[in-house]
Amino acid sequence: MTTTLGSFDTSGVVASLAGDEKHSATELVEILAHCRSIIASADYRMLCAASLIHDERCEDFLVEVGEHDSGQRESADEIMAAGMDHLAGRDPRAEFGPDGLERATAEVGAVLDVPAAKAREIITAGDTARYRLVFTGQALAVGRIDLAGFLLICARTKLVTDPDLAKILDTHIAQALFERPPLSRARLVAMVDTTVAMVDPDALLRRKERAATDRDVTIRPDRFQPGASRVSASLPMTDAAAIDARLTAMADSVHSGDPRTRAHRRADALIALAAGLDYLTCGCDTCTQAVDTEPDVEIDAAVDPAPAVEQPAPQPIAPPVGPARPVFHIVVNLSTLLGLDDAPGYLDGRGIIDADTMRALFADAQREFLRRDDHARAAAAASTYAPSKKLEALVRAGELCCTFPGCSAPAWSVDLDHTDPFDHRDPHAGGQTRRENLKPLCRFHHRIKTFDTRWRDYQSPLGEAFFESPTGHMFLGNAYTALDIFPALGPRPKPDNHPARATLADKRSQARAAHIRTIDRYEDADPPPF
């Protein structure tokens, strides 16, 4: 009997899609959220199915092995030989063909039409969801995270090998996922790595050793763009951050008239580094244009011309600031820096780093100390549009990335946005430059918030940044921040009965209700077809 997979009746799908065309944007947003939950639930079931196939194929393999080899050894020499094979890394069962994992990998890969490596990742994740991170797997099953998020958690927790510690880790991660709205990738990574450092500090050191062991650089033809090649590297986090920062510094060292985009300049900077240069040659007109030293002029033979003055051609100008110096930002507790504890730090754009690595990076770093009372001191500049350096450091250090929902742009490379617009005519009238009115936003989301007035944003006294979409849906953008990692930056209390929560909840409900009423009036006045 031959079974064909993937055949189904499409009439129901087509009918539902036709019905979606009649829904409003508000209803379509609910459909998006529903589809996300359904996909996550289906992915969880897929992982479990792959894991169950793995279990069954392992049983089949063991039965076949048992038919030929009972595992018993009749002499000391046979026992010794088996022990030596184990020490040498030889599999005594290799002669019986592919094992259970290999058989399941081939089967899952054929069904899902994915390479063997991807099929093996799915099987391993299924085993993790069923046996190791059970509660976190349930978060995937009910749509609190997506498949990519769960695979990320599996990868970043695999070095916690103690079963008891793995159970504790699973509990803490699942609790954080169920207590908070969905997190962006940067916030999810920070939360998971912080939890790993709390439960099993040695795992950070093992991760550091693994990163050093697995370092590699590959250069291959680009499969999707003929004539181009793709460069990829697996490097320790700090080394990668240093290279990234140097490329950015070199790209920013040229004159403003350089016609290349920043991406092009970073690519050229990498080529310059490979050529042994520590700077990027500027490409602006002033630095590159050649001047004709022999002007084409007709000269009368009867006139004794004056001798021509030879003018040297201008040479390309070196970068205006000399060799580019890489810059990256680290947030750390002073107690850790002084060696009083080994709490991890946060490397902007990269994530959690262990204490020893962090202290080594701080050896020649420029330091800025933030204190609890710095918030009051920074408020003295509230009447100016640009925040002071101290206030800017407080805002950026208190966040992990852009505060817009789902965005992971690093906090130190994005804009600082006034939640309530700054009043340039009368700074005391509203929108002052204070900590509670500032938040990091990447340039894309900053422009969306500024020019698309249907988007609204609110910032609570608790430091929470809420965004209301054009359809009236409310999203919390910074459910996990650096304040959760470094409480000394300024504790953010979250009691359920805090008066600020009730006030803000009422304000959001009233604004959302008014917005929905406006949409209803518009649709009643101009019903389909528009």
Closest CA to 347 of 186, 516, 457, 506: 186
Q: What's the gap between Cα 444 and its chain centre?
A: 16
Residue 304 has what pLDDT? 46
DSSP 8-state code for residue 128: I
- The share of the chain scoring above pLDDT 70, in percent, equals 75
What's the pLDDT score for residue 298? 45
Q: What is the mean pLDDT of the chain?
A: 82
Residue with tokens 């130190």: 412
The residue count for the chain: 530
pLDDT value of residue 389: 86
Tens digit of each residue's pLDDT (9 = 90 or more) over 306-362: 444 454 544 444 454 455 566 788 999 989 988 899 899 999 988 999 888 888 888
pLDDT at 89: 59
Lowest-confidence pick of 143-157, 161-175, 461-475: 461-475
Residue 330: beta bridge partners? 347
Q: Over 80: is that where the pLDDT of 480 sits?
A: yes
Distance CA 8, CA 2 (A): 16
Residue 470's pLDDT band (cuts 50, 70, 90): very high
Separation CA 47–CA 59 (nearest Å): 19
Determine which of 367-376, 492-501, 504-513 has the lowest per-residue pLDDT on average: 492-501
Share of the chain above pLDDT 90, in %: 43
Which has more confidence, 40 or 14?
Answer: 40
Q: Is the pLDDT of residue 27 over 50?
A: yes
| Mean pLDDT confidence for 230-241 | 89
Asked whether the beta carbons of 259 and 288 are under 8 A apart, the reply is: no
Higher-pLDDT residue of 118 and 316 is 118
Residues 465/435, Cβ–Cβ less than 8 Å: no
Contact (Cβ atoms closer than 8 angstroms) between residue 457 and residue 475: no
Q: Compute the average pLDDT of residues 198-204.
A: 90
Give dist(CA 157, CA 391) in Å, integer: 35
User: d(Cα 163, Cα 150) in Å, to the nearest integer?
Assistant: 19
Look at phi and psi of residue 227 and say left if phi exceeds 0, alpha if psi is from -120 to 50, else beta.
left
Mean pLDDT of all residues in 150-161 = 94
The pLDDT of residue 211: 86
Say how far apart CA 409 and CA 78 lie, in whole Å.
Answer: 60
Joined tokens for residue 155: 């990868």
Cβ pair 422, 432 in contact under 8 A: yes
Query: What is the rounded radius of gyration, in angstroms, for the C-alpha atoms of the chain?
Result: 30
Report CA dihedral (20, 22, 23, 25) to the nearest 10 degrees. Answer: 100
pLDDT of residue 95: 61
What's the pTM value of the predicted model, to 2 decimals? 0.78
pLDDT of amino acid 86: 57
Range in 81-95, 247-261, 339-353 the model is least confident about? 81-95
d(CA 394, CA 412): 11
* Phi, psi dihedrals of residue 320, rounded to the nearest 5°: -65, -20
Max avg pLDDT among 87-101, 129-143, 378-392, 453-467: 129-143
Q: What is the pLDDT of residues 400-409, one digit of tens each?
A: 999 999 999 9
CB 324 within 8 A of CB 254: no
Q: What is the pLDDT of residue 523?
A: 65
Measured distance CA(316)–CA(282) in Å, rounded: 7
As a whole number, mean pLDDT of residues 427-456 equals 88
Q: Is residue 11 over pLDDT 90? A: no
H/E stretch holding 505:
helix 499-525
